[in-house]
Amino acid sequence: MAEAGTGFLEQLKSCIVWSWTYLWTLWFFIMLFLVYILRVPLKINDNLTTVSMFLNTLTPKFYVALTGTSSLISGLILIFEWWYFRKYGTSFIEQVSVSHLRPLLGGMDNSAPSAASAANGDADSSRQSVSECKVWRNPLNLFRGAEYNRYTWVTGREPLTYYDMNLSAQDHQTFFTCDTDHLRPADAIMQKAWRERNPQARISAAHEALELNECATAYILLAEEEATTIVEAEKLFKQALKAGEGCYRRSQQLQHHGAQYEAQHRRDTNVLVYIKRRLAMCARKLGRTREAVKMMRDLMKEFPLLSMFNIHENLLEALLELQAYADVQAVLAKYDDISLPKSATICYTAALLKARAVSDKSPVPTATSFLPTQRLQLGRAGLRFSPEAASRRGLSTAEMNAVEAIHRAVEFNPHVPKYLLEMKSLILPPEHILKRGDSEAIAYAFFHLQHWKRVEGALNLLHCTWEGTFRMIPYPLEKGHLFYPYPICTETADRELLPSFHEVSVYPKKELPFFILFTAGLCSFTAMLALLTHQFPELMGVFAKAFLSTLFAPLNFVMEKVESILPSSLWHQLTRI
């Protein structure tokens, strides 16, 4: 019985919602008709006469008080709306209407996850408990001495912020130090060196440690910060590899002898993995891409549990350089899983492969079907996809898959397309990135723009379809389509990660909501009325009476016409029935 009663109530509610959504005009006219029929028992004519008499007896002081009070109330509402918008990035009235009124009027329930979100596993409640703005180490970060410092020498600008470098110092202390460092003099010096803020002091400490012993972490610091070329950095990393392998073998034999030895072995493992990864990156930068791919594959096979370094993203970039798209697809099949965190590299690489399938299978449209500017644009990106032609013949399976993949990638990180389409200038990527933020978009586009240009028609397909994503997620802060809602705090974190000379990309744009603009206009208008009423009370009283009479003139005209059409005894007949 309870289930039947609940089902009946749900059906009744759905019927009411449907009637209010589609038949509100009929409801409005029915209410007007009932008011007209009940005008005699409700004494509407008498009340209107009383109201008109009351308005005629009002003094100018009343209008002054009325306009002043309304101006004050609208001003208080404006101040509250502005404070709420500055703190939370949205209008309070708009949020209440979206969260509470829209579901009652037939809108979608924001609390119910979509089927696509459930399929991707990104709307799970446990994911929300994780910090929304966690900062990650950039897998493709550059070398400070050989790349970042050279940029500073040429341009005079600092590509890294203090916040970014401080995060790197914390990473170095976590990965390259342990509690037993005080037992070895060279490691004790390096433990202090990683905490040192002055770059020259760190380099001097590394040389001092090398005078005492062959220290792997000292070679790492010199390769990262003192080497001015990639060749010098690779040479130092090879020396670090020789010293790191010896420490790793010794600690591996003693790791089960106690907690201190286990911590030391964990540190030596981190050092060895870091060295091999940076050596692979040096090989990639020096053009030995196949050698770099082999080193990365061996490293992932030897240490499969160290996913925190995200070596697979380095591997994807190297495989794209080799145009080994089948191998790229195999790596994506392993790491583009619902149980693993996503990244711009994974999402946009998957979209690139789907766009490549379109260029392989789509018929080439004729250049005469486009305007001269369109022919020039499509000639640069490849004459492979045309929105006009696709709308006439319909999307093929390959094009549909590519568009869905692009929408998925853009929803995850909406900042990337402007860099790939060169609508916004690139800068050197930071050492840390914020997933779904502008910093991640810069890091991805900096290394992958050339791969998108290499695939014919990929950038054209991205240009034609990426903005359609935003129509699918009209309220990205409250509800996503394929991923969890967009974090609010990305702008603040990106401004700390990216240099001051870069204009941070923000999504969604924090434009002033309609209710704030409306309240500001209402406050200004009522304040002006209050001032005019205070200065010219009699004239404004005449104006108010004339305005009200003009406002009610159409209603009085309609009432007279209705009374002339309907018989006067209609209400008497209805009461008898």
Do the Cβ atoms of 194 and 172 come closer than 8 Å? yes
Q: Which residues partner with 432 through β-bridges? A: 137
Which helix (H) or strand (E) covers residue 533, if one does? helix 514-535
Domain positions in the chain are 152-309, 335-361+385-509
Strand, coil or helix: what is 180? coil
> How do beta strands 432-434 and 135-137 pair?
antiparallel
Q: What is the largest CA-CA distance in the chain?
A: 114
Cβ partners under 8 Å of residue 89, min gap 6:
477, 488, 510
Considering the four listed CATH numbers 1.20.120, 1.10.3470, 1.25.40, 3.40.228, the one that applies to the domain covering 152-309 is: 1.25.40
Q: State residue 258 phi and psi, 5-degree precision.
A: 160, 170
Q: Which residues pair with 135 in a beta bridge?
A: 434
Q: 499 is written with which tokens?
A: 């240099």
- Tell me which DSSP letter residue 421 carries: T
Report which secondary-structure segment, H or E, holds 434: strand 432-434
The C-alpha atoms of residue 139 and residue 343 are separated, in whole angstroms, by 11
Distance of CA 522 to the CA centre of its chain: 33
C-alpha separations of 334 from 102, 191, 331, 401, 503 in Å: 41, 37, 5, 19, 36
Question: Cβ–Cβ contacts within 10 Å for residue 557, how many?
Answer: 10
CA distance linking residue 29 with residue 194, whole number of Å: 77
* φ and ψ of 426, to 5 deg: -90, 155
**At which residue do the structure tokens 């020259």 appear?**
200
Query: pLDDT tens-digit profile of 330-351?
Result: 999 888 877 677 889 999 999 9
Percent of the chain with pLDDT over 90: 26
Is residue 135 helix, strand or coil? strand
Residues in a beta bridge with 137: 432
Q: What is the pLDDT of residue 553?
A: 79
The residue among 520, 518, 540, 539 whose CA lies nearest residue 530 is 540
Tell me phi and psi for residue 306, to 5 degrees.
-85, 65
Q: Please, are residues 81 and 515 in contact by the beta-carbon 8 Å criterion?
A: yes
User: Residue 286: CB partners within 8 Å, gap ≥ 6?
Assistant: 230, 231, 234
E strand or H helix at 390, and its extent?
A: helix 387-393
- Dihedral over Cα of 136, 137, 139, 144: its sign: positive
Residue 364, Cβ neighbours under 10 Å: how many?
Answer: 13
Which residues are 434's β-sheet partners? 135
The residue type of 352 is L
The token duo for 476 is: 């990205």
Q: Which residue has the tokens 């990135």?
A: 433
The pLDDT, as a whole number, for residue 304 is 79
Cα distances (Å, whole numbers) of residue 515 to 84, 93, 221, 528, 540: 12, 7, 55, 20, 28
Nearest-Å Rg of the Cα atoms of the chain is 34
Q: Name the 3-class secondary structure at 511.
A: coil
Beta-ladder partners of 433: 136
- 136 forms beta bridges with 433
- Kindly state the DSSP code that residue 485 receives in the 8-state scheme: P
Residues 6 or more apart whose CB falls under 8 angstroms from that of 463 comprise 377, 381, 417, 421
CA nearest neighbour of 412 among 479, 463, 483: 483
pLDDT, residue 499, reads 92
3-state SS assignment for residue 481? coil
Give the length of the chain. Answer: 577
Q: In whole angstroms, what is the distance from residue 430 CA to residue 137 CA?
A: 9
> Mean pLDDT for each consecutive 10-residue tract of the chain (577 residues)?
58 64 65 67 68 68 72 76 68 63 47 39 39 79 91 90 90 85 83 88 91 88 92 93 87 76 85 92 93 92 76 91 92 81 90 84 41 38 51 73 90 92 91 92 94 90 86 78 83 89 82 65 73 74 77 75 64 53
